[in-house]
A and B are shown apart, each in its own frame.
Chain A
Amino acid sequence: MSVISVKDVWKEYDDRVVLEGISLEIAPRAFVALVGPSGCGKTTFLRMLLSEERPDRGTIAIDGAPLPDEPDSGRGVVFQRYSVFPHLTVLGNVVLGLELKAAPLLGRLFGASRRAAETEAREILAAVGLGGAEDKYPAQLSGGMQQRLALAQALVAKPKVLLLDEPFGALDPGIRAEIHLLMQRLWHERPLTVVMVTHDMSEAFTLATRVVAFERRRNEPSDGGRYGATITRDIEVWPKRIAGAPRPLRKSSLPGRDDPAALTGDNRDDPAIEGATP
């Protein structure tokens, strides 16, 4: 049983084919990275998963039911920019998700229910490392903190599927490494199936359980856009990552760069060396 089931999806703009024959089954709790050159339609594919766009042919189903016609709270999203609301504080941005659910008419909670929502929001903010920044506005946060906030805001609505559109693409390498650790932890701890678009291969292989490459098989200017991108590679990351079971860091068993080479064991040096094998 797969959470997301994509069957033979085509997408065309005017007479230009963007995607052709995309079929993909995504297992529950998978972390799928969509990679590919720019303009290959991976973001278009993500927008279809969001119901922001509709496929011209083919079907997309979530939990066996056809995709709703508009975005809903079953699918959370984090964009590269503009994911958070500039007019709300950090706490307000997260509480908003709870308020919208609980107060259909005013979109606001008061009194005890407001305090309960704030407590829940503070917990999530602490989990993404934004404890203490509750009263700031997003414009006062760095890029990395804003994306942490966007993650917290998306998670508070408890979506089954989390869609990420190059969420960490604009961040510095150091900040990105930190937020990768956070992302892994969140995926392990929460019942999420994640689909992430990225152009960064190392990011894809650092985080994902599965890396799916979109590419145009033919991309000549003379084709006039008659060939869309399709899935050219579908790689299960090895060793397997299992949601909820983070692997211990194995740094200690690996020899450091300047350590002497091991003669025996898993990390032994080239076994062809004479006397290396006991």
Chain B
Amino acid sequence: MRLINRRPGAGAGRILALIPFVLVLGAYLVGSAARLAETPNDKLLPSLASLGAALQRMAFSIDPRTGDILMLVDTEASLYRLFAALAISVAIGLILGIAIGLLPYMRAGLGAFVAVVSMVPPLALLPILFITMGLGEASKIALIVIGVAPVLIRDVALRVGDLPPQQMIKAQTLGASTWQIVLRMVLPQTLPRLIDSLRLQIGPAWLFLIAAEAIASESGLGYRIFLVRRYLAMDVILTYVAWITLLAFLMDRGLALLQRRAFPWFAAARATG
């Protein structure tokens, strides 16, 4: 049988999915054990026990200096920035994306501008943001918005342009105004597609967040990672990286679930094209 026609069963598929995780974890444990056997104080590849201790220290006990649970405080600060920035980006992406995708005048006026702006490397703008907006929350949120919003705008504009022209004609023959077309046709059909591109933008959003927190911040997951870097505290860094990955993964799953629940028509409509 050809390779393209061979499929794993349900159980085999689950095992296959686990294999790479197990392999990476195994490689880490072997490497960690080997290094610790040579130098018991090695900090580079901490053992599972010291990772657990770091988790216990950061997430389940109160920091004597600040009186807070550090991981909780960091997570709150980071998620506040991230969600605020994503909400602003989604609003901008929807409004400008639909306008550019639907209205020829907006496309003529803004299409090229957005295409150019989306090519500006956001991290290169970070100093400008710090200078103009200060070191507070605004500059960090602005960085994420600058990184994410142009992509969302362009993606929404493309999706709106992909709607079959027959639908536009049909809506007009039902007497719809431009505003009604936006409200009843374009917006509901764009939202599930926006969720797709938002899922892809979660990675970049975290990147910009951690970059901003690393440079100038007093709290946040990225701040903590770059703070403890000075003490070579790999146990804390690895714990935080795993936690950030878990958060991003849960956001991705959550959005996928939201898409399925809120837009039950979408999967079938996408399949039949």
Q: Which residues of A contact B (CB under 8 A)?
A: 50, 52, 70-73, 75-77, 79, 81-88, 96-97, 99-101, 104-108, 137-140, 153-154, 157, 159
21 A–B contact pairs at CB < 8 A?
A52-B169, A72-B175, A73-B175, A75-B173, A76-B173, A79-B166, A79-B170, A81-B166, A85-B185, A85-B189, A86-B269, A87-B265, A97-B174, A104-B180, A105-B179, A107-B179, A108-B184, A137-B268, A137-B269, A139-B268, A154-B173
Q: Choose one: A71, A83, A104; the contact of B172 (CB below 8 Å).
A: A71
Chain B window 156-179, contacts with chain A (Cβ cutoff 8 Å), 1 for yes, 0 for no = 000000001011011111111101
Which residues of B lie under 8 Å from residue A76 when comparing CB positions?
173
Q: Choose one: B169, B184, B264, B265; the contact of A107 (CB below 8 Å).
A: B184
Provide the main secondary structure of the chain B interface.
Answer: helix
Number of interface residues of B (CB under 8 A): 27
Which residues of A lie under 8 Å from residue B264 when comparing CB positions?
137
Supply 9 further A-B pairs (C-beta < 8 A) apart from A72-B175, A82-B167.
A70-B172, A71-B173, A81-B164, A85-B170, A87-B263, A100-B180, A104-B177, A107-B180, A139-B271
Which residues of A lie under 8 Å from residue B66 when comparing CB positions?
none
Q: A83-B166, A137-B269, A139-B272 are in contact. Are A72 and B173 (CB under 8 A)?
A: yes
Which residues of B lie under 8 Å from residue A73 when comparing CB positions?
173-175
Which residues of A lie under 8 Å from residue B189 when comparing CB positions?
85-87
Alpha-carbon gap, A140 to B271, bound state (A): 11
Q: Choose one: A82, A105, A137; the contact of B164 (CB below 8 Å).
A: A82
Q: Which residue of B lies closest to A98 (CB)?
A: B174
Q: Which residue of A lies closest to B185 (CB)?
A: A85
Chain B window 232-273, contacts with chain A (Cβ cutoff 8 Å), 1 for yes, 0 for no = 000000000000000000000000000000011110110110
Q: Choose one: A85, A101, A137, A157; the contact of B167 (CB below 8 Å).
A: A85
A96 touches B174 (CB 8 A): yes
State how many angstroms separate the Cβ of B114 from the closest Cβ of chain A: 26
State how many angstroms separate the Cβ of B193 from the closest Cβ of chain A: 11
Q: Choose one: B164, B166, B184; the contact of A100 (CB below 8 Å).
A: B184
Alpha-carbon gap, A88 to B169, bound state (A): 17
Among B164, B176, B263, chain A packs the most CB atoms within 10 A around the CB of: B176
A157 touches B184 (CB 8 A): no
B204 interface residue (CB < 8 Å to A): no
Alpha-carbon gap, A84 to B272, bound state (A): 13
A107 touches B269 (CB 8 A): no
Alpha-carbon gap, A215 to B265, bound state (A): 42
B174 touches A100 (CB 8 A): yes
Which residues of A lie under 8 Å from residue B268 when comparing CB positions?
137, 139-140
B183 interface residue (CB < 8 Å to A): yes
B174 touches A153 (CB 8 A): yes
Q: A82-B164, A86-B189, A140-B268 are in contact. Are A77 and B175 (CB under 8 A)?
A: no
Q: Which residue of B lies closest to A52 (CB)?
A: B169
B175 touches A157 (CB 8 A): yes
Alpha-carbon gap, A105 to B183, bound state (A): 9
Alpha-carbon gap, A61 to B189, bound state (A): 35
Which residues of A lie under 8 Å from residue B174 when comparing CB positions?
73, 96-97, 100-101, 153, 157
Q: A107-B176, A139-B272 are in contact. Are A77 and B169 (CB under 8 A)?
A: yes
Alpha-carbon gap, A100 to B171, bound state (A): 9
Alpha-carbon gap, A269 to B263, bound state (A): 64
B188 interface residue (CB < 8 Å to A): yes
State how many angstroms separate the Cβ of A95 from the closest Cβ of chain B: 11
Q: Choose one: A99, A106, A107, A157; the contact of B173 (CB below 8 Å).
A: A157
**Nearest 5 CB-CB pairings of A with B:** A139-B268, A73-B175, A86-B269, A82-B164, A71-B172
Which residues of A lie under 8 Å from residue B166 when comparing CB positions?
79, 81-83
Q: A86-B269, A100-B175, A139-B265 are in contact. Are A77 and B188 (CB under 8 A)?
A: no
B265 touches A72 (CB 8 A): no
Chain B window 181-199, contacts with chain A (Cβ cutoff 8 Å), 1 for yes, 0 for no = 0011100110000000000
Q: Choose one: B172, B177, B265; the contact of A86 (CB below 8 Å).
A: B265
State how many angstroms separate the Cβ of A268 from the closest Cβ of chain B: 50
Which residues of B lie under 8 Å from residue A72 when comparing CB positions?
172-173, 175
State how many angstroms separate the Cβ of A206 from the closest Cβ of chain B: 25
Which residues of A lie under 8 Å from residue B188 when comparing CB positions?
87
Chain B window 23-50, contacts with chain A (Cβ cutoff 8 Å), 1 for yes, 0 for no = 0000000000000000000000000000
Alpha-carbon gap, A140 to B268, bound state (A): 8
Alpha-carbon gap, A93 to B174, bound state (A): 11
State how many angstroms separate the Cβ of A153 from the closest Cβ of chain B: 7
B184 touches A96 (CB 8 A): yes
Q: Which residue of A lies closest to B168 (CB)?
A: A71
Q: Choose one: B169, B172, B177, B269; the contact of A139 (CB below 8 Å).
A: B269
